[in-house]
Structure 1
Amino acid sequence: MFAMLLGLLLLGIPLAFVTLLVALVFALGWFGPASVPLITSRVYSFVSSFVFVSVPMFVLMAALLDRSGIARDLFDAMKLVGGRLRGSEAVQTIFVAVILAAMSGIIGGEIVLLGLLALPQMLRLGYDRRLAIGVICAGGSLGTMVPPSIVLIIYGLTANVSIGELFTAAFIPGLMLASFYVIYVLVRCAINPSLAPPPTVDKRSRAEKLRLLKGLILPLMVVFFVLGSIYGGIASVTEASAVGVAGVLLSTVIRGEFTLKMMKSAALQTLSTCGMIVWIGIGASALVGVFNLMGGINFVSDLITGISDNPTIVILFMMAILFILGMFLDWVGIALLTMPIFVPIIVSLGYDPIWFGVLFAMNMQVSFLSPPFGPAAFYLKSVAPPDISLGEIFQSLLPFIAIQIFAVAILIMFPWIAIR
């Protein structure tokens, strides 16, 4: 099964169709036509989940943010953050990335937005190119960790755990990772001042500062209502996602930016993105179902737990598998293919599946940046100046990949950080 899966992927066939084809071939060949209803019932249980409705809602939020001026005004407002520190523009970019992540939970749009807004400004001010590139890709990828993360939603669906508890548990680790980025930037700039321009005295008037601060009001209100309604127990994740879409739509109306053309464009992008997620989900659900029927889950469980009697070694082995898969596969496919197998092992070892979900999301941070197929690099390349090559982008990401791996290690050593 694995050989056939790998062979078809190498031929360039999309993951969703590969998984569905392999599932059908092995179901019919191993069990006969009577097994097909088992596959369809498993697929139905996946796509009919009420929580799954939150995915297109958050994707739509990100699509609307892409097309409005909210992110641009947010970036301008964050110019007041950082003060007289060397590297303040890079720090403010990370802060903007956290707020954007808390608004939508989608990484592609964030990296493109920051690539259009922050990269030209940092290069114009004289920032080291590699530092600027790394900050944008790493900061823009925080959407995997900061609630409402789509990664955590998909994990919650596959692992059958509370998504609200996942969001609560991921909050501090997400901020911890963002703070590691900030510390790295400030330390690098302090050691090597040539990486960033000298700090300038803020000569803006009070009226200008107040005008800039207005750009923070609408985004922070959206974040407050989305996360506040979840953590306050007022709304479920699905209901809160609809509140977020309503908030962003209302913001575009207040700003005078709402048009039917913008809404249609955002809806079509949402349809395209969610279509990909749903098809991968259908294929992966079918494949994992057949794999389980064939006794595959017991085989993999014995294989992984037989590596060592030390549970930490088993966890590290799982992280290594996820890291390697992250170099070649999309995170949606990784979650849907591996979590139904990994989570029962985690539970049998006595670990909390909520903690493992946060650990998985942190690991997927690494996959977004790691070569050869790290999507963050390709997102930035699509909007970067022509003289910035893909090779230079990947080289720029290496220190941030090291920071992410360090954060994974911290989370393994101190699991209480992912509190809920």
Structure 2
Amino acid sequence: MALLLFVSVCLVLLSGFPVAFALAGTALWFAGIGLLTGTLDDAYLSALPNRLYGILNNQTLMAVPLFVMMGVTLERSKLAEQLLDAMGALFGGIRAGLALSVMVVGMLLAASTGIVGATVVTMGLMSLPAMMKRGYDPGYAAGAICATGTLGQIIPPSIALVLLGDVLSSAYQQAQLQMGIFSPRTVSVGDLFAGALLPGLVLVGLYMLYTLLLAWRRPHYFAPAEAVPLDRALLARLMVALVPPIALILLVLGSILMGLATPTEAAGVGAFGALLLALIRRQLSARALLGALEETVKITSMVFMILFGAALFSLVFRGLGGEALIHQLLTDLPGGVVGATLVVMAVIFLLGFILDFIEITFVVVPLVAPTLLMLGLDPIWLGIMLGLNLQTSFLTPPFGFALFYLRGVAPPSLNSATLYRGVIPFIAIQLLMMGLLALWPALATWLPQQIYGS
């Protein structure tokens, strides 16, 4: 019954039915069958009101609408345009200068907004026409913009890491209870933010290294260098473009890592700082503010509706014996913890072809994370590995959302085949980053240990 429930949910999702209602509706159907056949204890459904109240009362999840507000406001303040103009001038003396500029600006936007759709659309509207006009290979240009846009998934402050932090915290507590261990250690959003910094920067470095190697091997993919003198005017443009977003990033992320504020408090400061920055740039009209608030409500409502549906699904799935089945399956795999981790990562990667990161985070991760943690995996390392894996779901066709975002603003000359060809090398780079993290777990665990001593 549990396996049939999981398969049924996947089929309903593939039919195009809204995710939140697909999860909740299918779970209710199977709950009714389980109650009638005696295979489901009604105590599981009785726990649903408390579960939903706990979601609404969760202080960590309160950071979601605030970070969304911060990202939407910064996206509407035309911050990216000024950044790209200044970075383009700085890297103009390099053959792949515009591409490197796109990656640096995407990294800064990822740390400022954390919203993949906004970053991809903004960079697609500004960068893609310029890159194609200058003779860049269309496939590479599209792939670079899509991949850079997904950096908001892994570079903190990231909404995906906030959601993963909440899920992994519950999974870690559940794993400790099942093992009879009562440790004071917890998994916080701050841990994941600190753990994601180095892997995120290394990933950006790999993107840039691939671009430079490609410019060396296939120079016809890129426009010739255009030297720009590094004078006081350029330095002034760089200062004006870089200082405000970097100051906001340091204020938000630094306050979390230094323990001066919780993620929710820092998100509130970030949202206020974004509004202040937009006001200084004279982009905060009443219409713009209303639009940002409406977009924030839409995104937040979508996230929480999916979370409600996933809560009902997980209760019914657990009541039908699905959790015990997955635990037995993973522990019986050859290779122990390595084999179980490889299988889970492979399944999540494949699910990323058809599901969004939110569905995977709320549906799949709570089912597999407790078992992996019981097998001895470090929760911070597991969180960053999951974050990198979920990042690929934005690039993998046919349902990669970054592909849809860019396709919607790309010129007609850029067909889907060219777009898919362009993202394949960047998917490989992200998988390479996961391999590096598997070989050197300290990339994710060293900084949290230095900051928090855990």
Same fold (TM over 0.5): yes
Residue in structure 2 matched with residue 74 of structure 1 by the alignment: 83
Residue in structure 2 matched with residue 85 of structure 1 by the alignment: 94
Residue in structure 2 matched with residue 124 of structure 1 by the alignment: 133
Moved more, 208-217 or 269-278: 208-217
Q: Does 1:151 pair with 2:157?
A: no
- Contact between 1:164 and 1:230, CA under 8 Å: does it hold in 2? yes
Instruction: Check 1:314–1:81 CA distance in 2 against 1; reply closer, same or farther (3 A cut).
Output: farther
> Which one of the candidate residues 328, 338, 342 is aligned to 2:354?
328
- CA distance in 2: counterparts of 1:336 and 1:105, whole angstroms: 19
- CA distance in 1: counterparts of 2:217 and 2:321, whole angstroms: 56
- CA distance in 1: counterparts of 2:79 and 2:114, whole angstroms: 16
- CA distance in 1: counterparts of 2:249 and 2:90, whole angstroms: 19
Residue in structure 2 matched with residue 15 of structure 1 by the alignment: 19
- CA distance in 2: counterparts of 1:208 and 1:179, whole angstroms: 24
Aligned length: 420
Q: CA deviation at 1:88?
A: 1.2
> Secondary structure of 1:369's match?
coil
Q: Does 1:2 pair with 2:11?
A: no
- CA distance in 1: counterparts of 2:14 and 2:104, whole angstroms: 39
**Displacement over 4 Å in runs of 4+:** 32-35
What code does the residue aligned with 2:108 have? I
- CA distance in 1: counterparts of 2:69 and 2:60, whole angstroms: 15
Structure 2: 5+ residue runs without aligned partners? Answer: 35-39, 170-186, 449-454
Residue in structure 2 matched with residue 389 of structure 1 by the alignment: 415
- Contact between 2:75 and 2:113, CA under 8 Å: does it hold in 1? no
Residue in structure 2 matched with residue 106 of structure 1 by the alignment: 115
Moved more, 6-15 or 169-178: 6-15
Q: Deviations over 1:3-59 (max 9, x none)?
A: 322332233211110111122223333247664321222222223211111111111
- CA distance in 1: counterparts of 2:138 and 2:395, whole angstroms: 17
What code does the residue aligned with 1:52 have? L
Residue in structure 1 matched with residue 332 of structure 2 by the alignment: 306
> Secondary structure of 1:257's match?
coil
Correspondence list, 1:12-411, <5 A = 12-30=16-34, 31=40, 35-82=44-91, 84-160=93-169, 161-203=187-229, 205-411=231-437
What code does the residue aligned with 2:431 have? I
- Contact between 2:81 and 2:126, CA under 8 Å: does it hold in 1? yes
- Contact between 2:69 and 2:292, CA under 8 Å: does it hold in 1? yes
Instruction: Check 1:171–1:271 CA distance in 2 against 1; reply closer, same or farther (3 A cut).
Output: same
- Give me the TM-score of the superposition, normalised by structure 2: 0.89
Q: CA deviation at 1:294?
A: 2.2
What code does the residue aligned with 2:21 have? F
Structure 1: 5+ residue runs without aligned partners? Answer: none
- CA distance in 2: counterparts of 1:157 and 1:286, whole angstroms: 17
Q: CA deviation at 1:130?
A: 1.3
Moved more, 24-33 or 87-96: 24-33
What code does the residue aligned with 1:58 have? F
- CA distance in 1: counterparts of 2:160 and 2:65, whole angstroms: 13
- Contact between 2:394 and 2:400, CA under 8 Å: does it hold in 1? yes
What code does the residue aligned with 2:273 have? G
- CA distance in 1: counterparts of 2:391 and 2:267, whole angstroms: 22
Q: Deviations over 1:264-301 (max 9, x none)?
A: 11111111111111111100111111211222111011
- CA distance in 2: counterparts of 1:387 and 1:62, whole angstroms: 30
What code does the residue aligned with 2:165 have? G
Q: CA deviation at 1:194?
A: 0.8
- CA distance in 1: counterparts of 2:76 and 2:87, whole angstroms: 20
Instruction: Check 1:29–1:372 CA distance in 2 against 1; reply closer, same or farther (3 A cut).
Output: same
What code does the residue aligned with 1:17 have? F
- Contact between 1:46 and 1:285, CA under 8 Å: does it hold in 2? no
Instruction: Check 1:10–1:255 CA distance in 2 against 1; reply closer, same or farther (3 A cut).
Output: closer
- CA distance in 1: counterparts of 2:15 and 2:153, whole angstroms: 29
- Contact between 2:20 and 2:308, CA under 8 Å: does it hold in 1? yes
- CA distance in 2: counterparts of 1:236 and 1:80, whole angstroms: 38
What code does the residue aligned with 2:211 have? V
> Secondary structure of 1:368's match?
coil
Moved more, 136-145 or 346-355: 346-355
Moved more, 142-151 or 40-49: 40-49
User: Percent identity, aligned pairs only?
Assistant: 37
- CA distance in 1: counterparts of 2:138 and 2:110, whole angstroms: 24
What code does the residue aligned with 1:129 have? P
- Contact between 1:74 and 1:96, CA under 8 Å: does it hold in 2? yes
Q: CA deviation at 1:196?
A: 1.0
